[in-house]
Structure 1
Amino acid sequence: MAQGARGGDEQVTLAVTVLAGSVLALCGVVWFGGTLGVAVAGGGWRPPPFRLSTFFEIVSVGPSTAWPRSPAAAVVGTVAVTLVLAAIVVLVVRRFQGRGPHRNGLAGRKELAALLPKEAAAKARQLRPSLRDVTEVEPDDRGNLLGDLDPGGPELRSSYEDVELDLMAPRAGKSTGIAIPRVLRARGAVLLTSNKSDVYSVTRAAREQAGTVWTFDPQGIAHTPRLMWWDMLAECVTIENSRRMAGHFVASVNDDSAKKDFWISAAQNTLTALFLAASRSRSSVTDLLGWLADPADRAPIDLLKEVGLPAMAEQLQGTVLGAVETRDGIYETARQCVSCLLDPEIAAWVTPDPGLPRFDPHQHVLGNDTLYLLSKDGGGSAAGIIAGLADSTMRAGVVAAERMGGRLDPPMTAVLDEAANVCRISDLPDLYSHLGSRGINVVTLLQSYRQGSRVWGEAGMDALWSAATIKLLGAGLDDADFVEKVSKLVGQHDVKTYSTSRSRDGSSRSMSYRQEAIMPADKIRALPKGTALLLATGVRPALIRLRPWYKEPDAGPISAQAKAEVQAITERAAQKWHEQAPDMV
């Protein structure tokens, strides 16, 4: 028999079965409820015959045909009550069914117990000494809100030792459903990177009530005036720190940090030596740029020798005295890596200014302050500086956690939005393995798996994926190979298959099972906006609904503050435009 014909027969059979079952259930409720109503009214237990003609008479004539000499009101009222009770029973049954494995093969409440409110509160007490004597742990103290289990809830929260990787296409809810809620709900210090002002404009006023807001905006994303500075060179006092800082600038111009050619590697070595010389001698960014402009300048070599680093000085001298073509190629590559510092408006943010407060990462991680790191992407961006400051702040959190006995309390929240564009920390996959255990909750937001592979290489992105204990996969993932792999990770489940065969002697129907993907690749790609596939360590995948900030009960005041902030940004942008182009007004 043709497959299409078999499928049509199965659908007809199923429809007839559902209809017959529904009619039978309704008749049973009417039969039982009417008989019970008569008994309650004092007429005794006198059930009518349970046959189809009885119910036709009840519908056409009324309940008096089945229960003569009984009050119609008592019969109808009891039937109504019985229908309500039956509906309640159905809802309760469905509720308890949701506690087990989800009917489509995804995780249910029981399997996600570790992310539910009660277990999350218990976990928070274990991780945070300040909560051990608290009778009722506030929701946002329990962990990070991920969303609501689909369908019907409850809310799910990861612990503060989890580290998270979220992959979603543009306009799929990364900012409204993840970045903004995390910043608004954070209990400790906050760090946010972004190439847009949307998260900043919504959260700044609320975070100002929690502590000091530091806005590092060297390229005018939010057009904020410079009210702070960060001593970038002071972070380069050791060889390790200098190499890390040089690596951030190199990564900002290198598409794949896992693949460094000769010029990139040599430029990083040269920048390491120059950063170290400038830091130890308390030289300025201007001095650093001068050394790069003139490879024959011996000042950095002499300074390295004076501070007791002869090996580093000899290495730099070897580069300077090498073949002219090689030396010039290395220095030109290094100049390209730090070209953003040629812009005096950008350089001012990392140059000491006695008239403004200095941002100190080691103080920041101990309180409830907020650091916004805003930068454009593409050529000439300040991404190297942004990555350096973000890295310094997170490593300062590690140092503070060690002094506290192992973990920050309250925990620090680091939301690395647009990490592949403005915060290319080359060893971020390695940092993930222990940041969570230090009470530093990191959330990295990417547009796709391929975007991360382009920055950290295939091996690096695989390491980041493996190190993340929480992964959210949202709408618009178009990488066919990646989505197919995710489908395999979600797994398969048994599906009943019915087949009908016909012969001269009649027809017979049989049932069998076959394996089918729980979520085929096309369904993962077509996830609706606002939903995400949750992959948590040790738990079957689950489907959740994100909780956008504008749908929360306190969205009204926040929305008003956001509108005021957007208006202020617009006015600052217009003023800056008038100042830069007075002849065009």
Structure 2
Amino acid sequence: MDRVNAASAKARAHGGDLAPWSIVAIAAVAFVVFGGVWLGGTLGAVLTGGGWHPPPFALGTFASLMTDGPGKLWPAASPVGVVLGIVVFFAVIVALAVFAGRRLMGYVSRPKGLAGRRELASMCPDGIAARARELRPSLNGREQLHPDETGNLLGDLDPNGPELRSSYEDVELDLMAPRAGKSTGIAVPRVLRAQGAVLLTSNKSDVYAVTRAERAKAGRVWTFDPQGIAHAPREMWWNILADCHTIEGARRLAGHFVASVNDDQSKKDFWISAAQNTLTALFLAAARGKASVLDLLAWLADPADRAPIDLLRDVNMVAMAEQLQGTVRGAVETRDGIYETARQCVACLLDPEIVAWVTPDPNLPEFRPHQHVLGQDTLYLLSKDGGGSAAGVIAGLADATMRAGVVAAERMGGRLDPPMTAVLDEAANVCRISDLPDLYSHFGSRGINVVTLLQSYRQGSRVWGEAGMDALWSAATIKLLGAGLDDADFVEKISKLVGQHDVRTPSYSKSKEGTSRSYSYRQDQVLPPDRIRALPKGTALLLATGVRPALIRLRPWYKEPGAGLISAAAKAETAAITERATRAWYGSSHSGIAVGVRKWQREAVTLDKDPTG
């Protein structure tokens, strides 16, 4: 009984503390309601021709309205207009309250400790425009700049903006799971908004289908599709041996073929290293001796063929010739093992459909990287991944194009203007440039904006090794981490990088003197690992050099102005790809071609919806 009485007394005491505030709340609600009726009715009377004749602001006015209606208070106005004025006024008040509440909830729910507008000022429109004028001399003297001329769009600061852009000296690394918005929110917008030359690698045709028509308006479109990803007709060729006249160029090309079959560059065994040395000598001999890729394949098939050794001696590459001869004269088991490994590295060139793209053709234009980087042309490099892919060829052409950009930048005084955009989608599968981590920051200083898209940190480590992936991570000045990162160790590290923030917890105590309040502080993680893993699709965690992490919302291409025209062009391109693919499968005169086209169209991605691939 004593406990019940004590509880009742405590409840009465608590109620006594709240009683004054209840009176204030009731008075405030009454004031808002009466004020809304008074002002809304008067505005309704004005709009219906009754003039500005407000009734007295008193409780009697409200009582008169309830008993006699609006005709007595606003005799010169229409009663319907007065009632509508009151309803509309309260509707506006409710809408404003809902809007303010949503803004407040967005601010309250936003994780504390992340960067805000002030800290990201250098990436906001004014700051990025000022930086663009410093990096691009061609913009000097112009008062108005298009936003795309100032930097690369990243997204909008969560929850209410503004838009954030990276500068033209930033290089980017994006980690997102499949179907998290890499194509629609990053690759496609980056290609569409590019100011200069564009390079895109991919193992799918989705980005190609969406962007091809728009890029054709800016310049020439080169499509390198040796494995029929988009089933584009062969309308170009690239001299794969063009940069192999030096040992460095030959070694780089050999490295790309070796990397295409070797998952971890930090674990090169004897056979891999020896095969790379042998391929370097053969590429050099073919380039210096004006031989073809088919001649090179013949040399690989017959280690006893002395043609490459003689060609190297003829051009005074004696040391390289001696090294190749030493390999040929070595133990038969060792020699055959080295040559077999080398044959496996360039096995894709045995496919006549692939080798045709890198063989001179007098009837087709030659793609020249050094000319490409100076204009606004677009190069699409498409290849399958897995066994038999043309990844080595794709990596070689991508590397040659980016290095051509470096040479052009040096001739321009240090930086390309307009900058070149290189989107390395599926880089770990179709564009394994072995020393990409070492070149990353150098590309940024030359006006070559490289964006590498990976599905996870571990995927990059499998290609470049732990040290290489760490170097790539450190060199990237902009990092975007999207939805679906399931590597527990990596997500835990990111949570630690984001940091902690102070949380103030109030505590109350009662005594005879009254109620007192005190605060204690603890540190919580700004973004716990589970929250990073559960980032919604279309959002990303932004890690920029020198700035606290921030949450951003990506800007998918299909939600931007002009998306309707782009979507229509994308549908037409997809239909063309479908028809070409069906003809390749069935033959142009096969009776099943119409059935095949309809089947492909049913399975095709609907590009005007949310293709978050």
| Same fold, TM-score > 0.5, yes or no | yes
Query: Could you tell me how far apart the structure 2 residues matched to 1:217 and 1:390 are?
Result: 13
Distance (Å, rounded) in 2 between the aligned partners of 1:555 and 1:178:
15
Quote the offset at 1:18 in angstroms: 11
The question of 1:392 aligning with 2:397 is answered: no
Q: Which amino acid aligns with 2:356?
A: A
Instruction: Show structure 2 runs of 5+ residues with no match.
Output: 1-10, 43-51, 594-613
Q: Which of 291, 304, 314 is the aligned partner of 1:296?
A: 304
* Alignment-derived partner of residue 571 in structure 2: 563
Deviation at 1:497, TM superposition (A): 2.6
Does structure 1 retain, via aligned residues, the 8 Å contact 2:480–2:540? yes
Which sections of structure 1, spanning at least 5 residues, go unmatched? Answer: 1-8, 49-53
Separation in 2 of the partners of 1:61 and 1:463?
Answer: 78
1:89-112 deviation digits (Å, cap 9, x = unpaired): 997999899999966221111111
Question: What SS class does the counterpart of residue 242 from structure 2 fall into?
Answer: helix
TM-superposed deviation, 1:578: 2.2
SS in 2 for 1:122: helix
Could you tell me how far 1:26 is from its partner in structure 2? 3.8
Partner of 1:434: 442
Structure 1 residues 388-427: aligned runs within 5 Å = 388-427=396-435
Separation (CA, whole Å) in 2 of partners of 1:353 and 1:560: 34
Kindly provide the amino acid, as one letter, of the partner of residue 326 in structure 2. G
Q: Is the 8 A contact 2:281 2:320 kept in 1?
A: yes
1:136 is aligned to 2:152: no
Q: Distance in 2 between matches of 1:41 and 1:75?
A: 16
Q: 2:347 corresponds to which letter in structure 1?
A: S
The CA distance in 1 between the partners of 2:453 and 2:472, in whole Å, is 12
Write the distance in 1 (CA, Å) between the matches of 2:527 and 2:259: 36
8 Å Cα contact 1:63-1:75 kept in structure 2: no
Q: Which amino acid aligns with 1:159?
A: S
Distance 1:303 1:584, change over 3 A: farther
* Further displaced range: 509-518 or 161-170: 509-518
2:530 match = 522
Aligned twin of 2:174: 166
Post-superposition CA distance 1:48-84 (Å, at most 9, x none): 7xxxxx9xx96x885899xxx9769999979987996
Deviations, residues 335-370 of structure 1 (Å, cap 9, x unaligned): 000000001110010111111000000000000000
Match of 1:363? Answer: 371
CA distance in 2, matches of 1:181, 1:343: 34
**Which residue matches 2:269?**
261
- C-alpha change, 1:507 and 1:19, in structure 2 (3 Å) is closer
| Equivalent residue number for residue 520 of structure 2 | 512
Alpha-carbon distance in structure 2 between the residues aligned to 1:20 and 1:139? 54
Q: Structure 1's 421 and 61: CA in aligned 2 closer, same or farther, altered over 3 A?
A: farther
CA–CA distance in 2 between the matches of 1:113 and 1:93?
A: 26
In structure 1, the residue matched to 2:483 is 475
Matched residue, 2:498: 490
Partner of 2:266, secondary structure, is: coil
Provide the residue aligned with 1:343 in structure 2: 351
CA deviations on 1:474-513 (whole Å, 9 max, x unpaired) are: 1100000001111111111122334567999998765422
Q: Is the 8 A contact 2:40 2:89 kept in 1?
A: no
In the other structure, the counterpart of 2:218 is 210
State the one-letter code of the partner of 1:548. P
1:155 aligns with 2:163: yes
Q: Within 2, Cα distance between the matches of 1:345 and 1:36?
A: 79
User: Is the contact made by 1:100 and 1:109 (CA closer than 8 Å) also made in structure 2?
Assistant: no
Partner secondary structure for residue 234 of structure 1? coil
Q: Write the letter of the residue equivalent to 2:547.
A: V
The worse-fitting range, judged by mean Cα deviation, of 24-33 and 195-204 is 24-33
Q: Is the 8 A contact 1:273 1:313 kept in 2?
A: yes
The one-character-per-residue Cα deviations of 1:165-203 (angstroms, maximum 9, x if unpaired) are 000000110001110111111110000000000000111
2:539 aligned to 528, 531, 546, which one? 531
Does 1:192 find its partner at 2:200? yes
SS in structure 2 opposite 1:233? coil
CA distance, structure 2, for counterparts of residue 186 and residue 334 of structure 1 = 38
Distance in 1, matches of 2:200 and 2:480, equals: 19
2:45 counterpart residue number: none
Matched, 1:574 2:596: no
Q: Which amino acid aligns with 1:265?
A: S
Identity within the alignment, %? 72
* 1:15-50 deviation digits (Å, cap 9, x = unpaired): 999999976654454577789999995878x777xx
CA distance in 2, matches of 1:518, 1:17: 38
After the TM superposition, list the runs of 4 or more consecutive aligned residues in structure 1 that deviate by more than 3 angstroms.
Answer: 15-44, 60-65, 69-103, 498-511, 579-585
Q: How does 1:13-28 map to 2 (within 5 A)?
A: 26-27=29-30
Q: 1:92 to 1:404 in 2, by over 3 A?
A: farther
Q: Which among 286, 297, 307 is matched to residue 294 of structure 2?
A: 286
**Shift in CA distance, 573/43, structure 1 to aligned 2, threshold 3 Å:** closer
Q: What is the rounded CA distance, in whole Å, between the counterparts of 2:210 and 2:474 in structure 1?
A: 32
Give the 3 Å change call, closer, same or farther, for CA 370–395 of structure 1 in structure 2: same
